[in-house]
Amino acid sequence: MDKKILEKYQEWVKNVGKDKDLEIELKRIEGNSAEIEDRFYRELEFGTGGLRGVIGAGTNRMNYYTVARATQGMADFISAHNPTPSVAIAYDSRNKSAFFARTAAEVMAGNGIKCYIYSELMPTPMLSFAIRNLSCAAGIVITASHNPAKYNGYKAYGSDGCQLGLEDSEAILYRISRLNEFKDIKTIDFDTAFEKSLITFIDSKVIDEYFKSVRAESIHKDICKNSGLRVVYTPLNGAGNKPVRRVLKEIGITDVIVVPEQEKPDGNFPTCPYPNPEFKEALEVGLALCRREMPDLLLATDPDCDRVGIAVPKTPNGIEYELFSGNEVGAMLLEYICRERKALNTLPKGAVTVKSIVSTQIADKIAEKYGVKSIDVLTGFKFIGEQAGKLEEIGEEEKFIFGWEESYGYLPGSYVRDKDAVAASMMICEMAAFYRTKGMSLIDARSAMYKEYGCYFHKTDNIAFEGSSGMGKMKAIMSKIRSSCPKTIAGRDTVVFTDYAERTVTDLINNWHPPKSTELPKSDVVKLMLVDGSSIIVRPSGTEPKLKIYYTCVADTFDEAGAVQALIAEEFAKLIGIT
C-alpha cells in the first residue's frame, strides 16, 4: 500500500469523532490494505456536479468531513465574491441527507454566512427556486439523485439557480484542495446558529410561491378537473410525495393512489435497490398496483424529485402497461406545448426549446413545424438552465418554453433553472387529460407523433467501472475511440466523427477538419454518425463510475430500427473492447 494512503488512514483514525459510524468502520478495516486503499486512494472530486460517492469513512467517501471540507471551500469562494452572502440548503430522503445538510449549514454559519434551510426534505427544483426567491449567493442540495442506496451527494448551485459551471467549480476545488478536513473547518453548532439567526428555516411563503409558479406553466388550466383521470403515483421513497400530490390536487386531479410500499421517505429504498424511474425494476411494485387499480397513468419520481418516468395502459383493459422513454415523453410534451400554445395564441414570437445533444432529433422536426428555435447543449441540465438565464438577461425569459433531456428531466418554464419533476408531473397529467378529452390515450398520441415525424429508436447502454481502476479503464476506452475511430460498424460506414473535447468535427469521407466546428464548451464526449443516419454518442457519466453509450436509429418501423440498433451495439462494443 502507498505510504501516503496509510498515513491518511491513520490521521483519520486519530481524528474522527463527529460521526461514530466512521470510527466503527475505520476500526473494522484495520489491516485490510484493499479496503483502506479504496477509501483513501483519492479525494471525492468537487466538479460541476458537486460531490457524489458511497457513504462511509475516508476521503473517497461521503461523510461529515468530506461534506464539511467541501462546504468550507465553497464558503471561502462565496465570501471572496460577496460582502454579505447567504445560501439556501435542501436535502432528500437518502441516508444521512438531513445530517449532511445540517453539517453544511453549520459550516456556512461558522463562516458568518446566512443559511436558509428547508425544515423537511424537499425536491431539488425547490432549492433552485429558493436561491432566486431569497436572492442567495449560492445553494446546496444533499442528494445522490437516482443512485443506489449506498450513495449520497452534494450538488452546488450559483446565484442564478443553476448548478455551478466549470470555472466556479474549479475555483472552489482549488480552495478545497488547500484545506485539511480536521484543522481548517470553521463551524458553529446548528442550534446556536439558529438562535443567532445565522440559520433560519425557509418560510412557507417561498414554498407557496414555488407552487404558484409551477401552476402558471399550465396551458389548459381547468382541463384536469373534469377529465376523470386516474393516477397511480410513486415517489420511490423520496422527496416527491407531498409536493407532487399537492400540485396534482391543485389542478383538480383527485383520484391519485400512492404506492404504499414506496410512499414514505426511506434512504434504503427497500423495494427498488436502484431508485431510477428510467428502469422498469424500480417500478415493478407500482406496476403491480396498476394491474389491480387500472389507472390511466403511472407516475414515478426519483428520490430528489427532479426526474419523472411514466407508464400507460397498452390496451383499454389496463392489464398491461408500457413504460415511455424520456425521449418519448420529452418529444410529446414539446409537441403538446407548441401546438396548444400556438392554438391559444400564447406561443411567444421567437420561442425557444432547449435539449441535450444526446436527446432525440425528432424534437428538431417538431420545433421546426411550429416555428420554435431548438437549441442543443451539452449533457447536464445546468446548460439548459443557462439558456433560460441568457434570455432573462435580455428581458426575454418568456421565450423559454421547454427544456429537457432524455434522462427523464423536464422544465416547462424559466421559474427554476433545473429539471423539475413536480412541474413535469403536472404537465404530463394535463397532457393525458387533454388527449383523454379527444378520445385518445397517450399510446394513441405517441403513435400519431411517430406517424407524422418518423420512427426514432433510442437505447442507452450504461457500462459500470467500479473501484480504483474504473476511471482509468473509461479514459482508455475514450482514448481508443479518439485515436482509432471505427471506420465501419455493422456494415455501415462512419461518415462524421465529432470530438467535443477538441471541439472538432471530422468528415471521414473527405477528411475535413473545420476549426472549432462546434461552439459548445469542451466536454469528454464523442459522436459517430453512420451513413444510414444512425448515431452513437459516448461519454463518461459525470456523477457515476459509468460509461454511457447512446444509440439512435431511424427506420420505417420500430422493429426495423431496433434490429439495426442491436447489430450496431454488439459490434461497437467489440470494437472498443467492452465485451
| Grid coordinates of 373 | 428555435
Phi then psi for residue 551, to 5 deg, are -110, 140
Q: Which residue has the cell 468535427?
A: 505
Provide the 10 A C-beta neighbour count for residue 15. Answer: 14
Cα gap 307→550, rounded to integer Å = 19
Using CA atoms, how far residue 354 sits from 206, 236, 302, 499, 565, in Å, is: 27, 28, 22, 21, 26
**One-letter amino acid of 338:** C
For β-strands 231-234 and 256-258, DSSP reports them as: parallel
Cα gap 353→316, rounded to integer Å = 33
- Name, in order, each residue with C-beta under 8 angstroms of 32's C-beta and a sequence gap of 6 or more: none
**One-letter amino acid of 133:** N
Cα gap 95→56, rounded to integer Å = 11
Helix (H) or strand (E) holding 389: helix 381-393
Cα gap 67→140, rounded to integer Å = 11
Beta strands, E only, 46-177: 51-54, 86-91, 114-117, 138-142, 151-158
Cα gap 185→322, rounded to integer Å = 51
State the burial class of residue 117 (Cβ atoms within 10 Å of its Cβ: 0-12, 13-18, 19+): buried
Using CA atoms, how far residue 300 sits from 50, 257, 273, in Å, is: 25, 12, 15
Query: Which is it for the CA torsion 277, 281, 282, 284, positive or negative?
Result: positive
Q: Which DSSP letter does residue 264 get?
A: S
Using CA atoms, how far residue 556 sits from 29, 180, 331, in Å, is: 57, 60, 18
Helix (H, G, I), strand (E, B) or coil at 30: coil
**Residues belonging to the chain:** 579
Provide the 10 A C-beta neighbour count for residue 148. Answer: 14
Q: Which DSSP letter does residue 163 get?
A: B
Catalytic option among 86, 97, 128, 145: 145
Helix (H, G, I), strand (E, B) or coil at 321: strand
- Name, in order, each residue with C-beta under 8 angstroms of 540's C-beta and a sequence gap of 6 or more: 474, 475, 478, 524, 546, 547, 548
Query: Which is it for the CA torsion 20, 23, 26, 30, positive or negative?
Result: negative
Cα gap 72→47, rounded to integer Å = 15
Residue 535 is a catalytic residue: no
- The catalytic residues are 145
